[in-house]
Structure 1
Amino acid sequence: MEGGWFLMRGCFLCLIISLLLQGEGDTFTINCSGFDQHGVDPVAFQAVFDRKAFRPVINYSIPTHVNISFTLSAILEVDAQLQLLTSFLWMDLMWDNPFITWNPEECVGINKLTISAENLWLPDIFIVESMDVNETPPHLTAYVSSEGRIKFDKPMRVTSICNLDIFYFPFDQQNCTFTFSSFLYTVDSMLLGMDKEVWEITNTSRNIIQTQGEWELLGINKATPKMSVGSNLYDQIMFYVAIRRRPSLYVINLLVPSGFLVAIDALSFYLPAESGNRAPFKITLLLGYNVFLLMMNDLLPASGTPLISVYFALCLSLMVISLLETIFITYLLHMATSEPPPMPQWLHSLLLHCTSPRKCCPTAAQKGNKDLGLTPTHLPGMKEPVELVGKMPHPGKAELNGSARAQQEYKARKQHMVDLWVEFSHMMDTLLFHLYLLFMATSIITVIVLWNT
């Protein structure tokens, strides 16, 4: 009885040793009997297919090294409101399966095979920022080399989170991230690496990118941080994808028309204020600009406050200010031509100072007095010339002449006040126009400088 127990224990020990020796082998060589010129018998790989549920390693204490690279082949959409980037990627994965090896010389010179990916173990690599269901097409295949190197290419339509900054729209640049990591395998079971250099990924993406629309690829960088979830540590590779918007569409459809309308509004100051056509013209421009903003609203981002919105609000404010200036000048001219009030002394002195002749213009004195209505008959202390004739006026005629002279002096004083207020209105129109141009130039230059920073 005791001898039988020792015999059973010896058989069990031999079985364990044989299994361990088989597990410690370097490779699991595929039988080449299933290889011929017409293809490969699936039975030769059946043992490998049966193990697809398990991570293919000889020793489970050794992590599987998975090399990752990708190609950005299209930038489909950038949603500023939802902060999403939709792109099309070709994700390339490469790892070693030690149970798939064969000798090409014995297997009719076959060095590489294509095997359905459903029959192989695949690493559970995903993109952390992805916010959509994976739309990878089914029934993909993988390349398997005679050394056990597996290369799996997977096309993906990815909708990922991207922190978009639209302040500089339409001259904005965005920096989105693609973080590749594993769902289940920690750093003890899986380590991630690079199959290509970053510059190779960038050049390949630029060469084969399909969309030549609103966005262009600037560059790709990478980082290799570790992701800690509780007590588990996961390996990951983070790619920074820099893209830039092509602004030509928005410059032609938004900035240029807006600039034309503001320029026409500024040129409308050259319309005579007395004609009464300036205010209706400015009101028409203001209404046209509001219609333009309503029509172009679909081209602007639906969220945030981009700098271009500030620019449009500034242009609209300039048009409103110019309309208010026109209303003020029109009011002054109406007051001057209807019932001009007496001009204060300080305002009269200021007007004389602003219209005083320059030393380099000796003939400007008469012109300045003429513009202000300061003719000799309107100056204080001056009388109408008296005819030096020998006839004495009749008393009745003298009374009539005095009344006519008083009426004429009243009209002259009123005309003088009208001329003063008209001249003041023209001076204020010129001053406010210059201030308007200064404010407009300063504001537009400030916006352009902010766009260039």
Structure 2
Amino acid sequence: MEGGWPARGGVLLCLTVSLLLQGRGDAFTINCSGFDQHGVDPAAFQAVFDRKAFRPFTNYSIPTRVNISFTLSAILGVDAQLQLLTSFLWIDLVWDNPFINWNPKECVGINKLTVLAENLWLPDIFIVESMDVDQTPSGLTAYISSEGRIKYDKPMRVTSICNLDIFYFPFDQQNCTFTFSSFLYTVDGMLLGMDKEVWEITDTSRNVIRTQGEWELLGINKATPKMSVGNNLYDQITFYVAIRRRPSLYIINLLVPSSFLVAIDALSFYLPAESENRAPFKITLLLGYNVFLLMMNDLLPASGTPLISVYFALCLSLMVVSLLETVFITHLLHVATTQPPPMPRWLHSLLLHCTGPGRCCPTAPHKGNKGLGLTPTHLPGPKEPGELAGKKLGPGETELDGGSGWTKAQLVELWVQFSHVMDTLLFRLYLLFMASSIITVIVLWNT
């Protein structure tokens, strides 16, 4: 009796295995009796529907391979302050279910069916950078082929983290990522692959993209890193989406008006230095530029320090320096015409050197004389102080410095001429600094 129990147990085990092996072919083949010209009987797929809670496999050690592709159909917005990209994706998932199989010739020629996705096992693929709840609509269907290949497409509005670099705004390019991964299955249970080539994804996205707003798609690349969490290793596919901002809106509304105001401020140097209108004109321009910045502040990024902000600060600084130069020249002219101090010999020599023909700062003395009522004969020119000392003074002229021999009218003319020279010199320095600064900003934008 003791030797008979193992023999009886072996017979029962063999009988059970043989029954399972006999039913294996039927278990993986859909019964075509449920197929007709009017549709498919749900009972034919009931065995598959009952298994939707479990990953479909015939060998536990073989992972399920899920192929992924997507189509970027819209770029809805970029939030530079929160570092978020909002886009609309059509995600395509393709995998094989070994429990689905039928012979199209025996099943009235049906090669493909559509089934409610909620009745099938679906891979738990998610986007790692997503910062919003999955808003996939319900009631979606999946395509099932006679070989058991399932194709599941779902639309998603994705709000994802994107490391935005706004330094080159509005000529900036951003590189955002979409990382697809599973949060449940490791590489032992699921592997990820590509359903389309990257160039196909890029071309399709460019053709179907609906938005023609602020951003345009440049290209898409991919990488296949692995994510390690503790002792578990997860498969991933990372897509790098390069987008570029269309700068025309900001060029027209920001750069062009700012350039016009700076150009007008530079041209205001051609107003006569003796005129009382130059300083008020520059103050009006400065106030107008501040109002312009306040009105256009909403178009600038709310965070960070873009290069355009540096450009605006530079333009504002140039206007302030221009105003300070006008105040300095106005004060110098006021002192020269009211109580001119004696002019040092070195300054007089430098003035003669600079106002000579072909020198660095030529000036037109008659322009200043016209406002002062002086004639060119009052100019000391190249005369030496000793020569001027022997000249007989008129009744209205008083000698300010007994050692210099210069009259008050001559000192006034010298200081006025010096003021014009300083005005010309500072104007050229202003133009040089403005040109070099703008060229530097343009070079940085181009790089």
- Alignment TM-score, normalising by the size of structure 1: 0.90
Structure 1: segments with no counterpart, 5+ residues = 385-403
**1-side partners of 2:67 and 2:300: how far apart?**
41
Q: Retained in 1: the 8 A contact 2:397–2:408? A: no
**2-side partners of 1:269 and 1:82: how far apart?**
45
Q: Retained in 1: the 8 A contact 2:186–2:232? A: yes
Q: Retained in 2: the 8 A contact 1:27–1:98? A: no
Sequence identity percentage: 79
Shift of 1:21: 6.1
Letter in 2 for 1:415: A
Shift of 1:15: 1.2
Letter in 2 for 1:248: S
Q: Pairwise CA RMSD of aligned residues?
A: 2.5
Shift of 1:225: 1.1
Q: Retained in 2: the 8 A contact 1:162–1:177? A: yes
Aligned: 1:414 with 2:420: no
Aligned: 1:434 with 2:440: no
Instruction: Tell me the residue number matched to 1:342.
Output: 342
Instruction: Tell me the residue number matched to 1:400.
Output: none
Q: Retained in 1: the 8 A contact 2:74–2:209? A: yes
Aligned: 1:164 with 2:136: no
Instruction: Tell me the residue number matched to 2:110.
Output: 110
User: Superposed, which structure 2 residues align to 1:196-207 within 5 Å?
Assistant: 196-207=196-207
Q: Report SS of the residue matched to 2:78.
A: strand
Q: What do residues 110-139 of structure 1 show as CA deviations (whole Å, max 9, x unaligned)? A: 111000000000000111111110010011
User: Superposed, which structure 2 residues align to 1:38-437 within 5 Å?
Assistant: 38-357=38-357, 370=376, 373-374=379-380, 380-384=388-392, 405-410=394-399, 413-437=407-431
Q: Retained in 1: the 8 A contact 2:89–2:155? A: yes
Letter in 1 for 2:242: A
Q: Retained in 1: the 8 A contact 2:397–2:409? A: no
Instruction: Tell me the residue number matched to 1:11.
Output: 12
Q: Retained in 1: the 8 A contact 2:76–2:211? A: yes
Q: Report SS of the residue matched to 1:303.
A: coil
Shift of 1:144: 0.3
- Alignment TM-score, normalising by the size of structure 2: 0.91
Letter in 2 for 1:127: I
Q: Report SS of the residue matched to 1:123.
A: coil
Q: Retained in 2: the 8 A contact 1:114–1:141? A: yes
Structure 2: segments with no counterpart, 5+ residues = 370-374, 401-405
Q: Report SS of the residue matched to 2:349.
A: helix
Q: What do residues 14-34 of structure 1 show as CA deviations (whole Å, max 9, x unaligned)? A: 2144336655x5971000111
Q: What do residues 400-435 of structure 1 show as CA deviations (whole Å, max 9, x unaligned)? A: xxxx95544559811111111110000000000000
Q: Report SS of the residue matched to 1:71.
A: strand
**1-side partners of 2:318 and 2:250: how far apart?**
21
**2-side partners of 1:333 and 1:228: how far apart?**
76
Q: Report SS of the residue matched to 1:380.
A: helix
Q: Retained in 2: the 8 A contact 1:91–1:154? A: yes
Q: What do residues 126-177 of structure 1 show as CA deviations (whole Å, max 9, x unaligned)? A: 1111111001001110000111010000100101111111110000000111
Q: What do residues 21-74 of structure 1 show as CA deviations (whole Å, max 9, x unaligned)? A: 655x59710001111111111011001000001111111111111110000000
Instruction: Tell me the residue number matched to 1:397.
Output: none
Q: What do residues 202-234 of structure 1 show as CA deviations (whole Å, max 9, x unaligned)? A: 000000000000000000011111111111111
Instruction: Tell me the residue number matched to 1:391.
Output: none
Q: Report SS of the residue matched to 1:274.
A: coil
Letter in 2 for 1:416: Q
Aligned counterpart in structure 1 of residue 439 of structure 2, from 441, 445, 451: 445
**2-side partners of 1:429 and 1:206: how far apart?**
57
CA distance 1:174–1:160, change in 2 (3 Å): same
Q: Retained in 1: the 8 A contact 2:180–2:237? A: yes
Instruction: Tell me the residue number matched to 2:403.
Output: none
Q: Retained in 1: the 8 A contact 2:36–2:108? A: yes
CA distance 1:166–1:343, change in 2 (3 Å): same
Letter in 1 for 2:439: I
Q: Retained in 2: the 8 A contact 1:216–1:246? A: yes
**2-side partners of 1:406 and 1:176: how far apart?**
84
Shift of 1:358: 5.7
**2-side partners of 1:371 and 1:381: how far apart?**
16
Letter in 2 for 1:309: S
CA distance 1:167–1:21, change in 2 (3 Å): farther
**1-side partners of 2:366 and 2:67: how far apart?**
92
Letter in 2 for 1:319: M
CA distance 1:327–1:117, change in 2 (3 Å): same
Moved more, 51-60 or 14-23: 14-23
Q: Retained in 2: the 8 A contact 1:79–1:85? A: yes
Letter in 1 for 2:12: C
Q: What do residues 329-366 of structure 1 show as CA deviations (whole Å, max 9, x unaligned)? A: 0000110111111111111111111123469xxxx999
Instruction: Tell me the residue number matched to 1:387.
Output: none
Shift of 1:314: 0.3
Letter in 1 for 2:407: R
Q: Which protein has the larger Cα radius of gyration, Structure 1 or Structure 2? A: 1
